[in-house]
Structure 1
Amino acid sequence: MRSASKKTETYVACPESKREKPEGVSSRKSPFNLFMNQLQGKKSSEKQGKSQSSLVSRLFKGSRLNPPKTDRPKEKSELETTDSQPDKEVETEAGTETKIETISETPATSETVESQSLGTETDLESNTVKMERFLQRLGKKSHSRSIDLNNCGLTSMDAAELGALLPLLPDLEELDVSWNDFIAGALKPVILQIHHISKLKILRLSNCRLTTDDVLALGEALTTTPDLEELNLSWNNNVGGKLAKILQGIQEGSKIQILELMDCDLTAEDAASVGQVLPQMQNLEVFDLSINRNIGYSLISIVQGLKNTPRLKVLKLHTCGLTQDSIQVLGVAFEHLPELRTLDLSGNKEVGGGFKDSAAHLAHLKLLHVLDLHQCSLSEDDVASLAQVIPLLSSLQELDLSANKKVGGSSENLLSRLRFLPELSTLVITGCSLGKEAFTAFASVIQTGHLTKLQQLDLSYNDSISEEGWATFTQNVPLLKELTELDISLRPANFRECGLWFGRLLSGLTKMPMLSELGIQRWRIPGPQQEDLEYFNHYHKRSIHFDYGGFQ
């Protein structure tokens, strides 16, 4: 191609010879008119037709943000120009040429937009690749909005690398580094980067051996996570005495729904801090303070705060050093917790006798599904009071009274009241020293068609039940059609001969289609029935796991 005499002009070959311009008409034609003249000319060769098509694309390219790419790179390179380049000539086979004006490009070219977009996509892809490699090295899968490093043996170097990656993940919603106790003292770099992920909703740091520096940094970091819904700091003993530093990051109108502080060695001062911050967490649904033995005497502060958490569904105070007075104080809060579904007061051995005058408060919990009172040293008076309130908890699905030895002598009335619990699916009365009368009362309840939704029944470690009691029970247990698990094991080192009732139990299993687990530890089973037991699944095409530990 030959260069034009002027930089702003381009010579384009025409099928016809150059025509003279009429008088009074400008010598410079618009590209559009030129194009129309070309269409009205003589038929050109196939190559000329392709050149005209390319010319149309060039003339109107400026009106589109992203012009479609052609699969004729050679023709495109011959016709495309930029503002910084002179116009070029395009010759046809005829050898004639026509001048047209250059159409200037807009400053923000489509190529620039594509380049910027490509750069952004490349950066995102690069960040994703880095995170995927990091997670794969730790045996974890990559998720766009979640990092789960639970129990994967993180080292200090891993924690440092994670801290460097967090700023690249502004859309992260879940971060879990729980049960990595080897990173003690190395978690601060991670915590300091939390302000880069303001969309964080779930933060789990349980059993990470948080240090004082980690705790202080975490308190500041929480001020930058307004969308946080779950915070789990359980099994970090160093949180004790410093909880106020963390809770200062929880602001008014907090979205936190789950707060778990199990076994954090909390002090009375920590309990007071919790009580002060609870009114700011009106969205709280799950609150677990279990295994903090020093907060029982300071429970009043927490109870005052609980009055401002109307959405609370789960309250766990297992092994918190609660006393008789604590139970009475806690009972006052129940009327402010209409949504409560789970109440765990287990493992508080000093509360025995506390339910005598406060069990009535449980009646406010109309929607209660789970009541766990195991190992609470319940007295006979406690059991009598509970027997009065049980019929008012018609939504109850799980009841655990285990390891309360005095239940056996006074549980006849309590167990007979179970008929008022139509939704009960789990009943655990392990090690309650059940007597003949109590066990017989429980077997009258089954016989009359109640407890039809019972799925799990644990009667283990009640070695005092007589042969007659077991005979009555095994006669009626086939009526529990939905039962999936049954445990009648004896205490360790206490072996006992099976009576005739065992054959009746084995026969009744054929009428219990849902049963999959039968615990019969330490029962000595007669020889013929041992064989029946070993071949039961084969004969009846069942899949029941018999937990008996071999025959003694």
Structure 2
Amino acid sequence: MSLFQQKMETSGSKQHKDEISMKHSKSPFDLIVNQIWRSKSFSERWPQSSMARFFKVTENSNEAACVTEKQKEGKTSLDSENKENASKLSSDEFKSTDPVGSTAKWEQVVEFMERLGKEPDQKCMNLNNCSLTANDAVQLAALLPNLPQLEELDLSWNELIGGTLKVLTNPMQRVPQLRVLVLGSCRLSEMDLSALGDWIQHLPNVEEIDLSWNGDLGGNLSLFTRKLGVDSKLKVLKLVDCDLTAKDAKALGQALSVITKLEVLDLSMNKDVGSGLETLFQELKHVPHLQVLKFHLCGLRGDNIINLGDALECVPCMKKLVFSCNDIGGSFNETAAHLSNFKQLQVFDVHRCSLTEDDVSALTQILPLLSSLQVLNLALNKNIGSSLRHLIARLRFLPRLTTLVANNCNLSEESIVELADTIPNLMELETLDVSWNKCIGGNLGLLLQTLQSSSCLRVLKLCSCNLTGQDLESLVSVSCAGFLENLENLDLTYNNTVADQSWAMFFQKISGLKELSELDIGLRPLTHRACDPWITIFLGSLVRFPSLTEFGMHHWVLSASQRKRLETFNSDNKRNILFHC
């Protein structure tokens, strides 16, 4: 049992205090930990009224209050011998490599981590989703000096530690090697953000900070950003869904001049930050090494990105650019022209951006220059019309493209023909999503017949495409020829246009899908059809799907006997397939 737990559980009688004092005199480490717990400055910084609000949200509030009271009582002086020994202990001696002392320190860390069901590691402390309380935060403060080599600290998804970060301020000075700090979804308060700023001043090696999913940071980000120093090594800053405002965006923009090594900035899902990003765009000139910029669902409008094009020229190392779910249609054409400088761009996501034909035409012109592009997401842009056909024709100049997402883009038959002609040039294509494009129905054969035996396709999504029996025959033909041998995920949902007999034919003849792990043929909501015509054939065909682990069949009606067959199939055939009914 650790010394901290002893203090939590003892009755506090004078006789027992004397026993503990005797134990403390046995080792310098015990002596200094006792000093930390009994420190007058600690108790003064945390008066009873301040500490009480930390513990009121925990189930052990009475116990926590008892600990605070004992800390106050602990201000009694040590005996003269202990005082003399304590005065000789410098900060360097606290980190001593003395075998006995080091072992005792490490055992305390091990006990703490094992109590939370986590593996102890001297360089990485992962306390993600451990239901930490304010009590645990206090104990962590006592343990951090035992980990001078700590490089990663993850406290994310522990909402009860919100409001307690100040107690860790001084201990954080004992982990100067810290590089990664994750505090996502911790209910951080305004005071926590200020404390975090104090931490940063004593953590010269921090390269990554993640404060995502803390909704109370909005309007207060400057408490943190204004404390960033000119020598900051910060490379990654994530502030996803923090309810940031335009004021916060401006504060962050002003801070870019001191975090010049920044490589990743994620402001996704801050829907009120949009107008303030104009200031941030102007300051991108200070972060020439920026490689990832994410503005998903940030409330951007067309007039907010007027100057974005010029700013993007200052960050030529860009590898991932995300503008998804922002209403920037009609103004993106000027920005698109500046993308030609991104020779290293690998991911470009503009799904659901209300793009217009002019926007797509501008993107079409520079697309061949993005030779490193691997992921292109154009989904949910319904008003790009026939201009998409010309863009698709240019995809042949992107030999490294691995993912093409064009679902719900109102593709025309001409676009399907262009895509069919282009696919043979996309030798590394792994994911193709053309869902919700009704013109695929009756034309799937055009796409599939161009696949070659060397196809790398792993994911094929054809949801709600008005597929026909003829389309399923084309799919069977291509798979039997071995052109889909690497396919792992096949989505055929919401294709109510396929007749029952065609599903029976599909399962009767399909083969060559040895790597397929996920198959979904679920129907549209509010529709119901009996699966009698094909369920028996399907169960017999599973021997040809040795890797299948999930099968979706939502809204297909099963009889009691059919459900029983599905329930017993795995045990009878030594399989582990999850049937989604």
Query: TM tier, shorter chain?
Result: 0.7 to 0.9
CA RMSD of aligned residues (A): 2.2
Partner of 1:516: 488
Structure showing greater Rg = 1
Partner of 2:165: 187
Partner of 1:153: 131
Picking from 549, 553, 567, the partner of 1:549 is 553
Give how far 1:184 is off. 2.3
Picking from 404, 414, 419, the partner of 2:391 is 414
What residue ranges of structure 1 are gaps of 5+ in the alignment?
Answer: 1-115
Partner of 2:26: none
Moved more, 176-185 or 517-526: 517-526
Give how far 1:249 is off. 2.6
Change (3 A) 1:470 1:408: farther
Change (3 A) 1:265 1:551: closer
In 1, the alpha carbon distance for the partners of 2:452 and 2:157 equals 43
In 2, the alpha carbon distance for the partners of 1:529 and 1:549 equals 15
Cα-to-partner distance string for 1:506-550 (whole Å, 9 max, x where unaligned): 2212222221111111333432223334455634x7535675526
Partner of 1:271: 249
Cα-to-partner distance string for 1:233-276 (whole Å, 9 max, x where unaligned): 11112211111111123111211110111111222221121111
In 1, the alpha carbon distance for the partners of 2:164 and 2:508 equals 59
In 1, the alpha carbon distance for the partners of 2:119 and 2:299 equals 41
Picking from 438, 443, 460, the partner of 1:486 is 460
After TM superposition, list the pairs within 5 Å mapping 1:56-205 onto structure 2: 120-205=98-183
Partner of 1:94: none
After TM superposition, list the pairs within 5 Å mapping 1:193-272 onto structure 2: 193-272=171-250
- Indicate conservation of the 8 Å contact 2:96/2:102, yes or no: no
Is structure 2 residue 510 aligned with structure 1 residue 506?
no
- Indicate conservation of the 8 Å contact 1:515/1:544, yes or no: no
After TM superposition, list the pairs within 5 Å mapping 1:424-439 onto structure 2: 424-439=401-416
In 2, the alpha carbon distance for the partners of 1:381 and 1:331 equals 16
Cα-to-partner distance string for 1:260-311 (whole Å, 9 max, x where unaligned): 1111122222112111111211211111111122222122211122111111
In 2, the alpha carbon distance for the partners of 1:194 and 1:145 equals 14
Picking from 419, 438, 448, the partner of 1:463 is 438
Partner of 1:337: 315
- Indicate conservation of the 8 Å contact 1:380/1:407, yes or no: yes
Letter of the 1:538 partner, please give it.
V
- Indicate conservation of the 8 Å contact 1:518/1:546, yes or no: no
Partner of 1:451: 426
Runs of 4+ in 1 over 4 A off after TM superposition: 116-119, 544-548
In 2, the alpha carbon distance for the partners of 1:118 and 1:147 equals 21
Is structure 2 residue 386 aligned with structure 1 residue 386?
no
In 2, the alpha carbon distance for the partners of 1:275 and 1:132 equals 42
Partner of 1:63: none
Letter of the 1:498 partner, please give it.
T
Give how far 1:415 is off. 0.8
Letter of the 2:193 partner, please give it.
V
In 2, the alpha carbon distance for the partners of 1:193 and 1:249 equals 18
- Indicate conservation of the 8 Å contact 1:284/1:311, yes or no: yes
Letter of the 2:459 partner, please give it.
E
Is structure 2 residue 334 aligned with structure 1 residue 357?
yes
Letter of the 2:458 partner, please give it.
T
Q: TM-score by structure 1 length?
A: 0.74
Moved more, 496-505 or 398-407: 496-505
Letter of the 2:182 partner, please give it.
R
- Indicate conservation of the 8 Å contact 1:191/1:214, yes or no: no
| Identity level (%) | 38
Cα-to-partner distance string for 1:176-198 (whole Å, 9 max, x where unaligned): 10111132223332344212222
Give how far 1:144 is off. 0.9
Change (3 A) 1:512 1:536: farther
Partner of 2:528: none
Give how far 1:175 is off. 0.8
What residue ranges of structure 2 are gaps of 5+ in the alignment?
Answer: 1-93, 511-537, 557-581
Give how far 1:131 is off. 0.8
Q: TM-score by structure 2 length?
A: 0.70
